[in-house]
Amino acid sequence: MNKLVLAACIGALTLTSAGAALAQEPAKKPAATKKAPAKKSSKSTKAAAAAPAVVPSGEKWQCELGNVIYINGNMLRDEVLTVHWSGKDYRLPRQSTVTGADRYYDAQSGLDLVVIPSKAMLFNKNLGQRLADECQSADMLAGGSAPTQAGALRAPVSTPLLMAPAAQPAPAEPAPAAQAAPKQ
């Protein structure tokens, strides 16, 4: 009796696995017929690869190690800048900061552009890497500062921030205080 039950279980497993194999077999056949269009799409990707890269637009910022970024937009007023890095254009929206630096960050691409009056830095937050550092525009290389909102709020370099206080007249002597009543 046990042998009969065991044989029935083995037979049922065999039929189940054979049915699963047959069910998968038709799925493989259409995939084989779809290979021809896949080859055509690979040719189209080769054509796309042969297409010229995005032409950078905007102001050129020269960085250390020969890196270059192009920034398109006005840092004094625009809420979104276009940064050209590594053959692609990225749209980076302005982020508010407490440090006074201008920061433009796009969570999807991970690119984070931080601009202070003396330089700009480009980070990839998704990879945890600094992509470019010591980036400066032509004006900055000539001695100017970055065209940032933080820089626009600062006083010009020719105006000293700390000045000696002007001479004030000597304060008049205070009126004599009324005598305090004796404690009882």
- pLDDT tens for 12-35 read 656 555 554 444 444 444 444 444
Give the model's pLDDT for residue 55: 77
Question: 170 is written with which tokens?
Answer: 């000597």
CA angle 140, 75, 110 (to 5 degrees): 100
CA 42 vs. chain centroid, Å, equals 31
On whether the pTM is more than 0.85, the answer is no
CA angle 159, 162, 164 (to 5 degrees): 110
**Which residues are CB-contacts of 124 (< 8 A; sequence separation ≥ 6)?**
110, 111, 112, 131
Give the model's pLDDT for residue 12: 62
Give the model's pLDDT for residue 22: 47
Give the model's pLDDT for residue 145: 82
- Per-residue pLDDT tens for 167-177? 666 666 666 65
Q: Which amino acid is located at 142 in the chain?
A: A
